[in-house]
């Protein structure tokens, strides 16, 4: 029950660190994970993605408090409670984020985390299959994480790209490469027809090493002696035990559970800890603050041709597709069905994209409830950089109690204007000639919703989380009172303790967060091992030359 490094969490960042810290065989590593196995078709079959994130077996089942600006709705906040963490229950969409996202991190105190610094880690972690076997100055080809593209066989995928072009927007061959802005193919962490989670990419290969061990347990708190983290207090099989870290304890428990664990251990806002009778080890007011997420709407259009995935929305078809996937790892079951994407700028003067689209050839909710109207298609759309901020706080000092989560969605006036623009922009794209052969009536929001007031009502009732929570233990300069970790991921105010996962993001990145979370684990591993970081790569990302004067 002791090792050089003890990692809490086997998710996107945790599995990557377990792999890298145990790689040279010099150090012993223990990974603590509460969740169980990821075996079985619900997780491994890409098209079944709506199941695991709503199954208590795989998901912590968190919900936000009633959101004051969304009519008091409580929004689901799924986090993976399984080997591989949220990478085992997510939508498998792979987005790095925009180059300028990381330059913003650097400029807000995360020195060494600019795009030039993180690009080598994005390349080290991936095996990219979008370039006919060739890498580039932007992409890697021999990392553990396979990144592929769907077949885009359904004609609606191409219609979406063509419509974007007809609306005056650029096309991009690779939004994870030189040019994020525009319409193009979407990338997925799917390999040979299976979900390529960090459990498959990193943890399974690493567990074959003698120096890595996985322990199933609940991490209750960090053991801190004389200002130094020496281990983790855990509970398993009803008994409380200690796991000792000879070198360091590393938290990678998610943007919801990592701040909870810090606060239970006495690291956080002193007044809040005192409310729960927790002795203060380090007064860090930033712990649990700065919570960010992406909200999105599903803009749904009826389809006049019976070509959408709705034709498979019956038990017989699902059984057939399931069997095809089970025996051959092929067919519709082998893709997450998010195969076309777009990253756009909302208006002139915005330098890089602040709107994301996922396109889907069916009208369906994320939880798998199909639209009653039958054949349809939809775009998931939302602003990328909301100014709204929330918080994660303790409900009690009991480690088994869910934390209190308030996102404070739509609390900034700009969010409403941004979302209304997203709806109107999507209508403009769906109205292009490319959709003429397919376009039926608008299912959602519906043609009656045209005024600002009507659109606001729709947003209030229907905006959903894209499940990208982050920012609750942000990285920053060691003398920044609101920073929780320094640029080497060391928790400020406690020795021998690091934290590396999406909670360190100072500001949310463009797109889905699994990719940057894995990158954080990769880069943190080098800091933990005391290695010189990979050399910076100064490539110039494409910025639209018309960004000052036009949105397209």
Count the neighbouring beta carbons within 10 Å of the beta carbon of residue 31: 28
Least confident of 129-138, 181-190, 256-265, 508-517: 129-138
Instruction: Give me the pLDDT at residue 366, please.
Output: 63
Residue 390, classed as helix, strand or coil, is strand
Residue 524, classed as helix, strand or coil, is helix
Q: Which residues pair with 32 in a beta bridge?
A: 8, 215
Which residues neighbour 254 within 8 Å (Cβ) at sequence distance 6 or greater? 9, 11, 79, 80, 85, 86, 469, 501, 502, 503
**Is 413 marked as binding a ligand?**
no
**Is 271 marked as binding a ligand?**
no
Report d(CA 12, CA 504) in Å as an integer: 13
**Is 197 marked as binding a ligand?**
no
Task: Give the active site residues.
Answer: 468
Query: 315: pLDDT confidence band, cut at 50, 70 and 90?
Result: confident
* pTM for this predicted structure: 0.98
Calculate the average pLDDT of the chain: 96
Instruction: Give me the pLDDT at residue 520, please.
Output: 98
**Is 30 marked as binding a ligand?**
yes
**Is 6 marked as binding a ligand?**
yes
Section 523-551 average pLDDT: 97
Angle between helices 413-430 and 452-462 (to 10 degrees): 100
Report d(CA 159, CA 436) in Å as an integer: 9
CB 131 within 8 A of CB 140: no
CB 75 within 8 A of CB 407: yes
Report d(CA 250, CA 440) in Å as an integer: 53
At residue 501, does pLDDT exceed 80? yes
Instruction: Give me the pLDDT at residue 25, please.
Output: 97
At residue 369, does pLDDT exceed 80? no
Query: 136: pLDDT confidence band, cut at 50, 70 and 90?
Result: confident
Report d(CA 410, CA 295) in Å as an integer: 9
Domains and CATH numbers, the chain: 151-185+295-383+410-462 (3.30.410.40)
CB half-sphere exposure, 480, CA atoms < 13 A: 20
Section 434-455 average pLDDT: 97
Kind and range of the H or E element at 21? Answer: helix 12-21
At residue 373, does pLDDT exceed 80? no
What angle (nearest 5°) sits at the alpha carbon of residue 268, between those of residues 262 and 273? 100
Comparing CA positions, the residue from 96, 126, 132 lying closest to residue 196 is 126
Tokens representing 524 are 């943190």
**Is 526 marked as binding a ligand?**
no
pLDDT in tens, 169-206: 999 999 999 999 999 999 999 999 999 999 999 999 99
Token match 């409403």: residue?
416
Angle between helices 514-528 and 115-125 (to 10 degrees): 100
Instruction: Give me the pLDDT at residue 54, please.
Output: 87
Beta strands in 315-367 (DSSP E): 340-344, 355-360
Helix, strand, coil in percent for the chain, rounding step 5:
30, 25, 45
- For the chain, the distance separating the N- and C-terminal CA atoms, rounded to the nearest angstrom, is 57
Report d(CA 467, CA 484) in Å as an integer: 23
At residue 370, does pLDDT exceed 80? no
- Give me the torsion for CA of 416, 419, 420, 423, rounded to 10°: -160
Instruction: Give me the pLDDT at residue 368, please.
Output: 63
Judge if the upstream peptide bond of residue 445 is cis by omega within 30 degrees of 0: yes
**Is 24 marked as binding a ligand?**
yes
């Amino acid at each position: 029950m002791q090792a050089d490094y003890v990692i809490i969490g086997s998710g996107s960042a945790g599995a990557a660190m377990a792999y890298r810290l145990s790689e040279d065989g010099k150090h012993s590593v223990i990974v603590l994970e509460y969740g169980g196995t990821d075996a079985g078709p619900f997780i491994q079959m890409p098209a079944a993605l709506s199941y695991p994130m709503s199954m208590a077996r795989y998901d912590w089942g968190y919900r936000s408090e009633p959101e004051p600006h969304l009519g008091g709705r409580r929004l689901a906040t799924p986090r993976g409670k399984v080997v591989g963490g949220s990478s085992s229950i997510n939508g498998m969409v792979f987005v790095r984020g925009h180059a300028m996202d990381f330059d913003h991190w650097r400029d807000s105190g995360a020195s060494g985390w600019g795009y030039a610094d993180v690009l080598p880690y994005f390349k080290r972690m991936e095996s990219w299959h979008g370039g006919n076997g060739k890498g580039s100055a932007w992409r890697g080809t021999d990392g553990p994480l396979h990144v592929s593209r769907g077949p885009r066989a359904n004609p609606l995928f191409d219609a979406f790209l063509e419509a974007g072009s007809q609306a005056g927007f650029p096309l991009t061959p690779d939004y994870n490469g030189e040019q994020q802005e525009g319409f193009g193919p979407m990338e997925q962490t799917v390999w040979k027809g299976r979900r390529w989670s960090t459990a498959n990419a990193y943890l399974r290969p690493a567990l074959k090493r003698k120096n890595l061990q996985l322990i199933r347990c609940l991490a209750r708190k960090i053991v801190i002696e004389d200002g130094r983290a020496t281990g983790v207090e855990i509970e398993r099989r009803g008994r409380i035990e200690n796991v000792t870290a000879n070198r360091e304890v590393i938290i990678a428990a998610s943007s919801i559970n990592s701040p909870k664990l810090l606060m239970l251990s006495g690291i956080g806002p002193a007044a809040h800890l005192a409310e729960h009778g927790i002795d203060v080890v380090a007064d860090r007011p930033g712990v649990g603050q700065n919570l960010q997420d992406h909200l999105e709407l599903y803009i749904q259009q009826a389809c006049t041709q019976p070509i959408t995935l709705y034709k498979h929305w019956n038990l017989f078809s699902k059984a057939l597709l399931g069997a095809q996937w089970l025996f051959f790892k092929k067919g519709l079951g082998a893709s997450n069905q998010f195969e076309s994407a777009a990253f756009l700028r909302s208006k002139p003067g915005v330098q890089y994209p602040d709107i994301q689209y996922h396109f889907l050839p069916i009208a369906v909710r994320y939880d798998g409830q199909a639209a009653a109207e039958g054949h349809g298609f939809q775009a998931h759309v939302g602003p990328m950089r909301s100014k709204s901020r929330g918080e994660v706080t303790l409900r009690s000092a009991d480690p088994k109690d869910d934390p209190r989560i308030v996102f404070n969605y739509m609390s900034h006036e700009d969010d409403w204007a941004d979302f209304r623009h997203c709806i109107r922009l999507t209508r403009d794209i769906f109205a292009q000639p490319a959709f003429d052969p397919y376009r039926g009536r608008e299912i959602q929001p519906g043609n009656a919703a045209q005024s600002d007031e009507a659109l606001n009502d729709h947003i209030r009732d229907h905006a959903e989380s894209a499940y990208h929570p982050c920012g609750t233990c942000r990285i920053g300069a060691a003398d920044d009172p609101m920073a929780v970790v320094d640029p080497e991921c060391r928790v400020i105010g406690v020795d021998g303790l690091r934290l590396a996962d999406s909670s360190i993001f100072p500001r949310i990145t463009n797109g889905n967060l699994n990719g940057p979370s894995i990158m954080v684990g990769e880069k943190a591993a080098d800091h933990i091992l005391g290695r010189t970081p990979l050399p910076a790569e100064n490539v110039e990302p494409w910025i639209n030359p018309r960004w000052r004067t036009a949105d397209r």
